[in-house]
Structure 1
């Protein structure tokens, strides 16, 4: 089965992070969590409440981390998932994140992005000419990165699978698992 790297950090959205980890493991794949350090990351819960123009944020669970970004050899993995939340906003400037993410895009390997996750490949110039979903207020950021924004729950562009946020996870997960299994069949 596939070895899938989950790229995250503090303030990643809880469902965006934990749902893929559990779904991949349920499917018999190995989900390896990487973050800036090996201490558990502090996840947050984003919710949509009446009377708010944006989402609210509350503290969430801790997510154990297997490797620090600097310890990752991307050659050891078959796919990558970048959860949303606020983590992508600041990890996108990390040189090890650029090294890791660049490897998956250069190799045409499966990459899943959830909610704010596309901020990472966008900042690295990796979305140019691609089609992707993201949290809808990121539409202009996605377009400025040279991509086409699609407001859908499970956008597949080659080996990249994206969605708008945690409410889309069942459809996103189904699409990502299909892309992952197809890539595993070729390997």
Structure 2
């Protein structure tokens, strides 16, 4: 089965991280979690509370990390997943993250972004001319990065699959697995 790299960091959203991790493993894909260091990262839970204009954030579980960004050899993986949360805000500035993400886009390998995940390829100039979903308030950021924003649960642009956030994960997962299969990755 395929080896899938997941880029994480402290404040990655728990459902955005854990749902794809378990869904991909359920289909016998190997998921390797990479972060700035190999210590477990602190996930967060984002929710929508009545009377709040924005989502709220609470501490979530800790996610074990397999590999530091600096030790990732992207050619050893068939696909990439970038969960949302606040982690994309700062991992996008890591030079190793730039090296890793650029590899997947250059080789047209499957890249899945969830919620705030598109902030990473946007910061690297990799969304220009593409179509993507993201957490809806990021519409302006996506458009400033040269992409077309779509408010949808499973937006597919070539090998890139994106969604607005954790409520979309069932549709996103189906689309991502289809793209992974089409890309020459193993079938279910």
TM-score by length of 1: 0.98
- Counterpart of 2:104 in structure 1 is 104
For 1:27 and 1:7, the matched residues in 2 are separated by 20
1:185 shift after superposition = 5.0
Query: Would you say how many aligned residue pairs link Structure 1 and Structure 2?
Result: 186
**SS at structure 2 position matched to 1:5:** strand
- Counterpart of 2:25 in structure 1 is 25
For 1:46 and 1:77, the matched residues in 2 are separated by 29
For 1:98 and 1:42, the matched residues in 2 are separated by 22
Unaligned runs of 5+ in 2: none
- Counterpart of 1:34 in structure 2 is 34
For 2:144 and 2:8, the matched residues in 1 are separated by 24
1:95-137 Cα deviation digits (max 9, x unpaired): 0000000000000000000000000000000000000000000
For 1:93 and 1:115, the matched residues in 2 are separated by 18
For 2:18 and 2:68, the matched residues in 1 are separated by 18
Unaligned runs of 5+ in 1: none
**SS at structure 1 position matched to 2:88:** helix
From the superposition, tell whether residues 58 and 24 of structure 1 become closer, same or farther in structure 2 (CA, over 3 Å): same
- Counterpart of 2:151 in structure 1 is 151
- Counterpart of 2:114 in structure 1 is 114
Report matched runs for 1:1-187 at 5 Å.
Answer: 1-185=1-185
For 2:2 and 2:115, the matched residues in 1 are separated by 23
From the superposition, tell whether residues 171 and 182 of structure 1 become closer, same or farther in structure 2 (CA, over 3 Å): same
For 2:136 and 2:185, the matched residues in 1 are separated by 33
For 2:80 and 2:95, the matched residues in 1 are separated by 17
For 1:178 and 1:103, the matched residues in 2 are separated by 21
1:12-38 Cα deviation digits (max 9, x unpaired): 000000101000100110000000000
Which portions of structure 1, spanning 4 or more consecutive aligned residues, are displaced by more than 6 angstroms? Answer: none
Aligned-pair Cα RMSD in Å: 0.8
**SS at structure 1 position matched to 2:31:** strand
For 1:81 and 1:137, the matched residues in 2 are separated by 21
Task: Determine if contact 1:8/1:83 at 8 Å carries over to the other structure.
Answer: yes
Task: Determine if contact 2:127/2:146 at 8 Å carries over to the other structure.
Answer: yes
